[in-house]
Chains A and B, each alone.
Chain A
């Protein structure tokens, strides 16, 4: 059977795919992998559809026992994965035999790792996605993080005859300092000039109040012109809200769909994946960019990922 038994759950491990799209107007957040790049690469390395569901681990990984022969790929934060106590590489295909125990060491860099199993995780699709939305109590395994004893089933699939890996230079290196590019707005005009300058020149630190919904940041106060509230409007992951205290909150994948604090800026999509690897005490700095430049970055990354899967396909021939 292509499945894993969860022996230990880890700190916060849950099923995530690329996200739940098309339900924001019903108040349903996008959810999905906090670092979508790593999810896509993990899936590609076991020749899954790039949006297949994986396990997303957080700082302390789970312990999983293979109930049959399968193949996995682990990407994301450097998490020292092991099979039966022996180190295995990340960012490449790894075979697991029946009875093998996959465990994780310390997360040396980054915050979240992705475990793709060949075929993808077969959990129910709710509103078009397998992603777990814990606050809403649906998706993934019963709408919650994993616990010991859970069974993670994969779709039946053939064993790949070759192992894939991605070129070393494409493996992202996470440190405890992040450079995040943002597009100013939609409510940047509600902040003073020095407020905007504070955001774009200050160092901000992720506080302990950081989860899949969002991160509260500590750093230079961002000054509003007058009001620190708006009549609620819609927001997306990456939005940087600033409440009355002037301390920014970066909204992440499980963010509520509407909010009443002015948004000074929104992180660009490729850098949102980086943000997904930040953890409490990490530092970040924000850089202003334009929608046009952001689109260029999105296109480059799209091309990179399409060529990546092409290269993997060729190797198998």
Chain B
């Protein structure tokens, strides 16, 4: 096997109190694993000038206190930490979470469109969607929204041309090869194929969502009656089973 070689990491200022450590410019798990490995190493190193870090698909944003450090000093320290990140650190799968979903019907108004777009039946789309593991690449857009990837090529579908003004909480959508779950009602352009009754985000809890970049999610199809029961119970995203 050929040894993997990576493009050199780029350090970029993002204004006067943050910098980006950029590992690549595409969506792929290798790049994302490297982002998360550095995030973990940074958390462990607990640099006091660093106020928070934000892992994304392909980069790590580092927000710092400009009264305590210069940009150059901080880059120097992070490069030091980057060098300590080993091969083993970039394999972590995080927690494994099973998310029950009702596919189609009123819960998934775009399942029919995705099926036509994919030249498949609705059942085949649902089956393809729930028969693989997804990586939580990052959390963003709205509080607690996990960006998951990647769906099977066959069911990759472009976003709506005109986003909906309201997508209900729990909606599971597809945008190209990404899939994601709306934690709260929000406007959105993803193709909605189903809905989960689980609660993804609760600002009264610490942390507000147990999901983290690097976790693994699997969807499990359920019936509408089960949805009602689970919704009534108000179960959190990790509470269904693993």
Contacts and interface: CB of A to CB of B under 8 A. Distances in A.
Interface string A134-169: 011111000000000000000000000000000000
Nearest to B208: A26
A29 B143 CA distance: 8
Given A22-B52, A183-B16, A234-B54, A136 B140 contact: no
Given A234-B61, A236-B15, A295-B16, A27 B67 contact: no
Contact of A27 (B57, B58, B145): B145
B81 interface: no
Interface string A219-263: 000000000001111111011000000000000000011100001
Given A22-B52, A27-B140, A137-B184, A232 B13 contact: no
A136 B203 contact: yes
A137 B185 CA distance: 10
Interface residues of B, number: 48
Contacts of A256: 140-142
A302 B17 CA distance: 14
Contacts of B147: 232
Interface in B1-56: 12-18, 20, 22, 25-27, 51-56
Interface residues of A, number: 43
A27 B25 contact: no
Given A21-B52, A24-B54, A126-B204, A232 B140 contact: yes
B63 interface: yes
Contacts of B14: 185-186, 234-236, 239, 263, 266
Given A186-B14, A232-B57, A236-B15, A298 B66 contact: yes
B139 interface: yes
14 contacts: A24-B63, A26-B201, A27-B201, A186-B12, A231-B57, A232-B57, A233-B57, A233-B58, A234-B59, A256-B140, A256-B142, A258-B141, A294-B15, A294-B16
Given A231-B57, A295-B66, 4 more contacts: A23-B143, A27-B209, A233-B58, A263-B14
The 8 closest A-B pairs by CB, nearest first: A258-B140, A266-B15, A294-B16, A234-B61, A234-B54, A186-B12, A138-B203, A233-B56
